[in-house]
């Protein structure tokens, strides 16, 4: 069958109203679910799955993919408006999105998040269609040693999100690494820091830590100083993103999209690290580096491009290898199986019409995301206009509800509240929260892959240099470390000196 035949077969499969309705419905469900804190994209996809069993395969799978893509974008809405990431993937969006909302630019931040998401989504889908086979065979070269070097390099992001003081950033990261060790040891299966409590055996719930660290300190700050915000203006969120904004951030969006595609095609990393990596790269390359973390629109664009770039690319290992790249694609694989379809290389021969049908549907989904996302923003941005004395207690209630809903566990609410105090103290002492989060996500990956690599080699560290991929990442790590040290040794630059000095007074 020629390419054109396959394309026509795919078109005939998807060219009915039902398919497009399912796709649109999926995106809408995803955006709304993603916008509710604690209702992650994963949960939304899992809850939608049973409804797809009675549908045609292509309809059902596109419905799920719509929920997935909508959910990843939807997470940025509360991240920007109330400093509470709706899904873990949008935690990098908080860093610049929330300061923008504080300044009364919620509409602009949300608009940029949408444009960046849709662009990245399109790039990601095109990469899936054009390079699936190539990227998949590349991803198969990633064993534990390659993973270890990639994660090690990713940890250098910490320097990029530390804000004013690298030392405070490193301290924050250490705290994150420490808390990430709670739970069962992967290799021996023994308990670590669980204090005999079964609730701690699974480790600290990621969403609880996330919301505790970002949203709760705002609540505490409000309770501590109820009238502190009155001087600051928080004008109506009526502003919009301009084409000039988009053009200015376009390079970062494109770079973020490719980072997302690259990390998404390798099974087992997920969207949150991609968002952080894209953000820190954008900051490194940007002329107004100093403004990152204080409400830079390019930061929002980079973070959202990074996490949405992952969404299409996670289908690469799924379709080309039959391997789920993350939890969400593991659920979607279930939808394939129920219809008797076996994702993998053979599917490109046996069910080529379905593959092309999915490709066409995915391209259309980027457009749907743009339309439905705009409508959602129009509705949600008025949250920014709600008076703070009403908004903040609402955030507290939403946070408690959301964290409970993840695992139906009261213990997790406790974790969130304790982390809230930790986050508040960190805020008071000018210790940045993002390094904590990155270390909390990447720390366990680093440890597990290191130990798996050591098991593979029988304890010889030589395996960590076993091929070109490892050399590449060792090289990148060395260059980045050198750059960080050089800026560090040169001492604080004149415009930064105030910023470095002021926290010392506290």
Partner 1 sequence: MKLKPLSLLASAILLGAMSTAALAEYPERPINMIIPYGAGGATDISARAISEPLSKAAGKPMVMSNITGAGGATGSVQVKNARSDGYTMLFARVGSHTVNPAMKATLPYTLDDFRFVTVYEINPVVCAVKEGSDIQSIEDLAKKAEEGGVSYSSSGVGSMLQLAAVMVLDEFGVKDPLNKATHIPQKGGGEAATAVLNGTVTFVCTNSSALANLIANKQLKPILVTTKEPLAGFDAPTAVELGKPALTELVGWTGIAGPKDLPDDVAAKWGEWMAAAVADERFMKTMTSSGSIVELMSPEDASAFINRQYETFKKLVDKLGMRVEG
Q: How far is the CB of 421 from partner 1 (least distance, A)?
A: 22
Residue 126 or 456 with smaller CB distance to partner 1? 456
Find where tokens 């219809």 sit: 339
* Cα–Cα distance list, 500 to 70, 99, 174, 294 (Å): 40, 20, 20, 15
Q: Which two tokens stand for residue 289?
A: 């580096």
CB of 323 to partner 1, least distance (A): 5
Q: Which of 144, 151, 153, 146 is nearest to 478 (CA)?
A: 153
Interface residues with partner 1 (CB under 8 A) are 42-43, 45-46, 49-50, 53-54, 140-144, 183-191, 198-199, 201-203, 267-268, 321-324, 327-328, 330-331, 333-334, 336-340, 342-347, 407-409, 448, 452, 455-456, 458
Nearer to partner 1, 189 or 387 (CB): 189
The least distance separating partner 1 from the CB of residue 405, rounded to whole angstroms, comes to 9
Residue 339 CB, shortest distance to partner 1, in Å, is: 8
Task: Name which of 43 and 241 has its Cβ closer to partner 1.
Answer: 43
Are the beta carbons of 362 and 123 closer than 8 angstroms?
no
Say which residue the tokens 């279930």 belong to.
Answer: 334
- Provide the minimum distance between the beta carbon of 99 and partner 1 in the complex, in angstroms, as a whole number: 33
Neighbours of 421 (CB within 10 A): 13
DSSP string, 424-490: HHHHHTT--SHHHHHHHHHHHHHHHHHHHHHHHHTS-GGGGG-SHHHHHHHHHHHHHHHHHHHHHHT
User: How far apart are CB 401 and partner 1 at their closest, in Å?
Assistant: 14
Q: What's the closest the beta carbon of residue 143 comes to partner 1, in angstroms?
A: 5
Give the three-state DSSP class for 191: strand
At 170, list the tokens.
Answer: 């490193």
The rounded distance, in Å, linking the Cα atoms of 11 and 9 is 5
8 Å CB contact between 362 and 122: no
Both structure tokens of 250: 């376009």
Q: Enumerate residues 6+ apart whose C-beta is below 8 A from 489.
A: none
Between residues 54 and 506, which has the closer beta carbon with respect to partner 1? 54
CB of 461 to partner 1, least distance (A): 17
Residue 414 token pair: 């406790």
Which is closer to partner 1, CB of 344 or CB of 414?
Answer: 344
Given the complex with partner 1, which of 107 and 343 has the nearer CB atom? 343
Pick 42 or 239: Cβ nearer partner 1: 42
Closest-CA residue to 215 (of 438, 402, 28, 404): 402
Q: Which is nearer to partner 1, 187 or 478 (CB)?
A: 187
């Amino acid at each position: 069958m020629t390419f054109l035949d396959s394309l026509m077969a795919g078109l005939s499969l998807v060219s009915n109203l039902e398919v497009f309705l399912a796709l649109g419905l999926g995106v809408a469900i995803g955006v709304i679910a993603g916008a509710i804190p604690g209702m992650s994209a994963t949960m939304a996809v899992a809850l939608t799955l049973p409804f797809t069993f009675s549908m045609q395969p292509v309809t059902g799978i596109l419905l799920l993919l719509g929920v997935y893509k909508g959910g990843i974008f939807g997470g940025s809405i509360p991240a920007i408006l109330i400093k509470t990431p709706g899904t873990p993937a949008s935690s990098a969006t908080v860093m610049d999105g929330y300061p923008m909302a504080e300044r009364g630019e919620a509409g602009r931040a949300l608009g940029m998040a949408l444009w960046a998401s849709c662009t990245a989504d399109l790039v990601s889908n095109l990469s899936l269609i054009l390079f699936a086979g190539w990227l998949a065979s590349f991803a198969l070269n990633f064993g534990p040693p390659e993973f270890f070097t990639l994660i090690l390099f990713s940890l250098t992001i910490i320097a990029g999100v530390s804000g004013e003081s690298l030392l405070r950033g490193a301290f924050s990261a250490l705290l994150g690494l420490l808390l990430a060790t709670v739970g069962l040891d992967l290799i021996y299966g023994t308990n670590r820091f669980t204090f005999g409590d079964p609730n701690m055996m699974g480790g600290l719930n990621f969403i609880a830590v996330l919301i505790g660290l970002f949203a709760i300190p705002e609540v505490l700050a409000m309770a501590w100083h109820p009238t502190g915000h009155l001087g600051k203006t928080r004008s109506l969120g009526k502003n919009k993103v301009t084409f000039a904004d988009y053009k200015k951030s376009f390079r970062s969006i494109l770079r973020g999209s490719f980072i997302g595609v690259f990390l998404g095609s390798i099974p087992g990393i997920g969207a949150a690290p991609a968002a952080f990596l894209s953000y820190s790269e954008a900051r490194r390359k940007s002329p107004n580096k100093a403004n990152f973390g204080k409400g830079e629109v390019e930061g929002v664009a980079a973070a959202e491009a990074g996490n949405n770039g992952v969404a299409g690319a996670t289908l690469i290992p799924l379709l080309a290898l039959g391997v789920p790249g993350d939890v969400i694609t593991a659920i979607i694989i279930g939808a394939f199986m129920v219809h008797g379809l076996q994702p993998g290389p053979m599917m490109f021969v046996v069910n080529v019409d379905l593959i092309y049908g999915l490709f066409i549907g995915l391209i259309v989904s980027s457009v749907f995301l743009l339309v439905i996302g705009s409508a959602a923003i129009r509705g949600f941005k008025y949250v920014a206009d709600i008076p703070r004395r009403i908004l903040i207690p609402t955030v507290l209630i939403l946070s408690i509800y959301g964290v409970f809903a993840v695992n139906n566990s009261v213990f997790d609410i406790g974790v969130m509240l304790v982390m809230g105090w930790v986050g508040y103290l960190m805020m008071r002492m000018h210790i940045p929260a993002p390094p904590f989060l990155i270390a909390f996500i990447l720390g366990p990956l680093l440890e597990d892959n290191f130990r798996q690599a050591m098991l593979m080699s029988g304890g010889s560290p030589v395996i960590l240099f076993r091929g070109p991929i490892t050399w590449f990442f060792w090289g990148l790590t060395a260059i980045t470390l050198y750059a960080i040290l050089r800026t560090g040794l040169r001492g604080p630059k004149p415009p930064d000196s105030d910023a470095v000095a002021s926290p010392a007074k506290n």
